[in-house]
């Protein structure tokens, strides 16, 4: 029986991923193998001669095949790090991305009292990563996450349980704000904002593996913002904040939609790449 060492498997995987056009293939291979070996990816640097049993080697090659088909590492592992936590992902959720942490950052600024008893509404909650990250940093806050996909709601509820906040986070199925009542201190959202015709042209990691219902924002990518802008004044407390993620080049259009709804735009925040990524508006 052929013996497989860590280094040999990583070299083989790097070749497969390079041939498939995957950038950073060696890094991805380390993450996938380290997970199977239950160690940190960095530990593999000193374990190159370690022998990997045949069953683990086969499982690793299967994972590399999935990555060569441009499935993201996070979907293969079933989880993604975001803000201060690790979130489960599923077929009906977006894969959380670092850009979206800007929404959390702005929301925490809008809810400045660390012990405040805030209420937060998350529209299109997906994994729940935005809402649950906020609740993690505001231990007396409560939140409601809305999503149209049952599978996403199940993942979000499990993430709430894993993060220890199931008593402060509720999740419900709904079409944006249609079934939502009450008043909130903040509304947050990372809505679909890709123009429908552009979705097939996105990177394969996105176009093949993210749910298209969480990507398509209508012909111009702005449909969800029109819905949110119309309903936000009804749902926000006086001086409450609306914080949304936007696509590249959309910030001005979204700000105008909010102003037309008599919301006061108070901040446009750039992400780490310098792209205007979030718009924050206030009710009053």
Binding-site residues for substrate sit at: 190-193
CA 274-100-75 angle, to 5 degrees, is 120
| Cβ neighbourhood burial of 138 (10 Å; 0-12, 13-18, 19+) | buried
**How many whole angstroms separate alpha carbon 128 and alpha carbon 144?**
10
> Helix (H, G, I), strand (E, B), or coil: what is residue 78?
coil
DSSP conformation class of 238: E
User: Could you tell me the maximum CA-CA distance found in the chain, to the nearest angstrom?
Assistant: 72
Q: Cite the annotated binding site by residue number.
A: 124-128, 147, 176, 190-193
Evaluated on CA atoms 6, 7, 12, 14, the torsion sign reads: positive
> Helix (H, G, I), strand (E, B), or coil: what is residue 162?
helix
**Token match 């925490």: residue?**
108
Q: Cite the annotated binding site for S-adenosyl-L-methionine by residue number.
A: 124-128, 147, 176, 190
| Cα dihedral 143, 148, 151, 152 in deg (nearest 10) | -40
- How many beta carbons lie within 10 A of that of residue 79, not counting itself? 18
């Amino acid at each position: 029986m052929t013996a497989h060492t860590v280094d040999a498997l990583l070299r083989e995987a790097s070749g497969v991923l390079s041939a498939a056009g995957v950038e950073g293939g060696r890094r991805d291979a380390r993450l996938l193998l380290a997970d199977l070996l239950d160690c940190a990816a960095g530990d593999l640097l000193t374990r190159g001669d370690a022998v990997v049993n045949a069953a683990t080697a086969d499982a690793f090659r299967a994972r590399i095949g999935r990555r060569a088909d441009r499935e993201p590492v996070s979907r293969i592992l079933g989880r993604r790090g975001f803000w201060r936590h690790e979130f489960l992902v599923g077929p009906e959720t977006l894969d959380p991305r670092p850009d979206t942490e800007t929404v959390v950052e702005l929301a925490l600024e809008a809810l400045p009292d660390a012990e405040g008893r805030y209420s937060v509404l998350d529209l299109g909650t997906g994994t729940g990563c935005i809402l649950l990250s906020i609740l993690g940093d505001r231990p007396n806050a409560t939140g409601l996450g809305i999503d149209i996909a049952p599978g996403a709601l199940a993942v979000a509820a499990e993430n709430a349980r894993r993060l220890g906040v199931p008593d402060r986070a509720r999740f419900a199925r709904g079409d944006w704000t249609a079934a939502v009542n009450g008043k909130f201190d903040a509304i947050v959202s990372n809505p679909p904002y890709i123009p429908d015709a552009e979705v097939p042209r996105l990177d394969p990691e996105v176009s093949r593996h993210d749910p298209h219902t969480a990507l398509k924002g209508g012909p111009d990518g702005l449909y969800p913002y029109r819905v949110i802008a119309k309903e936000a004044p009804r749902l926000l407390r006086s001086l409450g904040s609306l914080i949304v993620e936007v696509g590249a080049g959309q910030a001005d259009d979204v700000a105008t939609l909010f102003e037309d709804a008599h919301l006061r735009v108070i901040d446009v925040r750039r992400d780490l790449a310098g792209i205007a990524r979030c718009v924050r508006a206030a009710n009053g």
